[in-house]
Structure 1
Amino acid sequence: MQYVKSIGLNSNQQIGRGFNHPYDIAFSENNRIYVLNRMYPQSTDGIRVQICDFDDEWYGEFGHGPGDTNDKFLVPVCIGFNDEEKLYVTDESHHQIKIFDRDGSFIEAWGRNTSKITDLEAPSGICFDSAGNALVVQQFKGSILRISNDGNIVQTFGEPGSEPGALNLPWGICTDNKDNIYVADWRNDRIQKYDSVIPRKAGRRGPPKY
């Protein structure tokens, strides 16, 4: 593996070109890069998502924070595109998943102070299965939500604890090409794998096989 290049610069700006504490990235189908700037507790005014490409072209930014409206961020954590090119952003302090189109226009939010998944708590990692459902980590509940693209909970699994299959402050999540699920179980110092069972009926609860 060889180094290729770096993009971006540390500008310490609250708006405009230059990254300031980039935290997560996602790629759109047209190869643009979406960079989540989370900032840090002493300086939160530069929270935003920036759009650029690998040739250092800059296309704008959106979701400036900190802010209390559904289209703003407070403590954003992870970002990812679904198969409809909608960008999902988890915000652990708003207890929301915020959804934008790839131009940065706000579409909707799920979680607290919305009409869907109102008991969502501290979402962190997010990824998508082959059916287009979002898999979202609830770090403090020690659980994973599988959510359809219209905002219905398809499945909930995981519980707090240290036994196999239980979770203690989980964070990152991803799937492989067989839809197996991998969760970074932070406080338990391990990676856990769950099988690829995808329920088709909204509202079904119960874990995949650990």
Structure 2
Amino acid sequence: MISDESKDHKVIKYQSRKSTPLYPECKYHNSQQCIMYCNQCKIPVCKTCLASQHLSHKVSEILKVVNERKDKLIKGRGKLNETIYPTSQDIASDVQNRINKLEKEYEDLSTAITKHGEDWHREIDNFLIKLQAEVDETKDTQLQTLQKHLDEINKNISDIKNEIISIERAIEANDLSKLLRVKSHVHMYSNLPHKIAPFLPKFVPGKVQGEKFSKLFGTLSSSSLTFDEHGYSMKSSHKCPETGSSSPVKQLLDEPEIVTNIDTGYEYLINVACLSDEKIWTRGNDSTIKLFNINQGSLLKSIKTKSGNIPWDIAVTKSGVLVYTNVSDRTVNIVKNKKIENVIRLHNWTPRGVCGTSSGDLLVTMCSHDDKHSKIVRYSGSIEKQTIQYDDYRRPLYSIYTCITENRNLDICVSDNGVKAVVVVNQAGKLRFRYTGYTLAPKNKLFIPVGITTDSQSHILTTDDNNHCVHIIDKDGHFLRYIECGLREPVGLCTDINDNLFVAQWRSRQVKKIKYLVRCINV
């Protein structure tokens, strides 16, 4: 190689062989390498091409262009490896989890429908037995009456036959004394027995009409699939310190902050409901429901209940309509344009807690007139769609004094003051868990839940009047944290769209606005 001077060799170490670039050969000039790159034509060029065809074009050294391209490819590969690929894996895992969850929820839904059908079958069977028993009883009574009547007629026939025989014998004997002794009872037997005509009861079947039947049995709410192209966030190599999640979420503040206090002017304050991030409804121990501006603390509106009695609970629906329950006249009422309308009127039950759902339904907790039973009923307008009362073992789920809310995962959450627990069932009404407090409560007293709400992270928050705090648990019932913030006798509470917490305090008459979540930002 060295002795042949006709060859232009470039000698490098064997270990460095990959560091020597292999220039592309020119397609137009054999044996010439393209060491330049024409930025205008976007092609590699050799010296001859440069001098003849690309003289006026802007060119760069091909090594510089290649290195820039390599840097872009390396960055692209890094993004693919570090973010896009793992994010795609997470998305696939998330979709698979959604599939698994959806299958489970549909299974629960089918189970609930089947169970409801079994309840109907049981009621129908019991009703059939009752009707059949009435038929059998009526039949036995009428048959016994007719048989007794027949026995009387047969006895008369026997008596008549015996009298005929006696008369014939007296006539044939030609015995005057015997003839004088025989008496005829023709006049008695001429009175024929009364006629008994049985009338059967008639069965008039009720008409089974599809639409009416479906309303009686229960209906399915509408379902949908939403497609959000921005629904997923890119995975980052930095995670939230508390949750470990790679997507932006909100984490609990170490020290919740009081943003503002609002004095409501009631003798005792009981509940609060968010209309928007600027307005809240409140109710106390009188018949007035008040609307306040949050930032200014000013009273915007006052509404008197239709009955003039104290409302038991207030809530704001998905469409922003105020709804309240009234124990005295057993009604659920909505307020539209200053007009109050009874949407639900109960007879043997008394409404307690109420909340609106994401589907536009109303969930109402209620107790029986004798205060021995309690249940939840889902309404679409004034039509009953679902009843939740017992667990799988036919044990009551709830006591009498209950507040209610719906979580983001469609679980139904109830703070049950009577059994001193938060009771959570899924959308189909199947019991998920009971939360009975945490042993390290601030005052270490008995857990007595009152108000209840949820937030965008599916946390469940409930006031603990006895320990002067708010409990925060996750959607599966695990304790996360207390909020104290100097609270005294907290009762009602709610959250706004920005996850600010509003707590109504009994004696102080104040609503405290508290910030307890902060967005966890991926860097």
Please indicate the TM-score interval, normalised by the length of the shorter structure: 0.7 to 0.9
1-structure distance, mates of 2:477, 2:516: 21
* Selected match of 1:8 from 344, 357, 360: 344
Matched, 1:86 2:411: yes
Amino acid at match of 1:29: S
How far the C-alpha of 1:88 sits from its partner, in A, is 0.5
The correspondence of residues 33-52 of structure 1 with structure 2, limited to 5 A, is 33-38=362-367, 43-52=370-379
Residue equivalent to 1:53: 380
Which residue pairs with 1:109 in the alignment?
434
Q: Deviations over 1:16-66 (max 9, x none)?
A: xxxx331211233332221111468xx312421112111x221232226xx
Task: Please state whether the residue corresponding to 2:517 is helix, strand or coil.
Answer: coil
Cα deviation for residue 151 of structure 1 reads 1.6
Alpha-carbon distance change, 146 to 198 in structure 1, aligned in 2, over 3 angstroms:
farther
SS in 1 for 2:344: coil
Q: Is the 8 A contact 1:178 1:196 kept in 2?
A: no
Residue 153 of structure 1 corresponds to which residue in structure 2?
A: 479
Residues 106-136 of structure 1 show CA distances to partners (whole Å, capped at 9, x for unaligned) of 2221217xxxx46771111111122111111
Q: 1:198 Cα deviation (Å)? A: 5.0
CA pair 140-106 structure 1, distance change in 2 beyond 3 A: same
Cα 1:152/1:182, change in 2 over 3 Å: same
Q: Which residue of 1 is the match for residue 491 of structure 2?
A: 171
Amino acid at match of 1:186: W
Q: Which residue of 2 aligns with 1:193?
A: 513
Shift of 1:141: 0.8
Q: Is the 8 A contact 1:155 1:199 kept in 2?
A: no
- SS, match of residue 107 in structure 1: strand
Q: Which has the higher helix share?
A: 2
Bigger Cα Rg:
2
The alignment partner of 1:21 has SS state of: strand
Change (3 A) 1:78 1:199: farther
Letter in 2 for 1:57: I
Listed as ranges, the gaps of 5+ residues in structure 2 are 1-336
When the two chains are superposed, the root-mean-square deviation of aligned CA atoms in Å is 2.6
Q: How far 1:157 sits from its partner (Å)?
A: 1.8
Residues 175-201 of structure 1 deviation map (CA, whole Å, 9 limit, x = unaligned): 12221111001122211121143598x
**Which whole-Å deviations, capped at 9, do the CAs of 1:128-185 have from their partners, x for residues lacking one?**
1221111111011101111111222221121xxxxxx322221111112221111001
* Residue pair 2:504, 2:511 contacting (<8 A) in 1 also: yes
Runs of 4+ in structure 1 deviating by more than 3 angstroms, as ranges, are 117-120
| Structure with the higher strand share, 1 or 2 | 1
- Matches of 1:9 and 1:76 in 2, distance apart? 19
Q: Is the 8 A contact 2:404 2:412 kept in 1?
A: yes
Deviates more, 1:126-135 or 1:101-110: 101-110
Aligned: 1:98 with 2:427: no
Letter of the aligned partner of 2:487 in structure 1? L
Map Cα deviations across residues 64-94 of structure 1 (whole Å, 9 max, x no partner).
6xxxx5x521233211111100000111121
- 1:132 pairs, out of 419, 441, 458, with 458
List gaps (5 residues or longer) in structure 1. 14-19, 159-164, 201-210
Partner of 1:204: none
From the superposition, tell whether residues 58 and 26 of structure 1 become closer, same or farther in structure 2 (CA, over 3 Å). Answer: same
Q: Distance in 2 between matches of 1:58 and 1:197?
A: 37
Structure 2: distance between partners of 1:63 and 1:81 = 16
Amino acid at match of 2:379: C
| SS class of match (1:197) | strand
Counterpart Cα distance in 2 of 1:75 and 1:4: 26
Which AA in structure 1 matches 2:434?
Answer: A
Name the CA distance, whole Å, in 2 between partners of 1:21 and 1:106: 23
Letter in 1 for 2:482: T
The separation in 1 between residues aligned to 2:497 and 2:405, in whole angstroms, is: 17
Partner of 1:72: 397
State, as a whole percentage, how many aligned pairs show the same letter: 18
Give the letter for the 2:355 counterpart: A
* Contact 1:32-1:53 within 8 A present in 2 as well: yes
Corresponding residue for residue 24 of structure 1: 353
Say yes or no: does 1:142 pair with 2:468: yes
User: Contact (CA 8 Å) 1:121, 1:138: kept in 2 or not?
Assistant: yes
SS at match of 2:480: strand
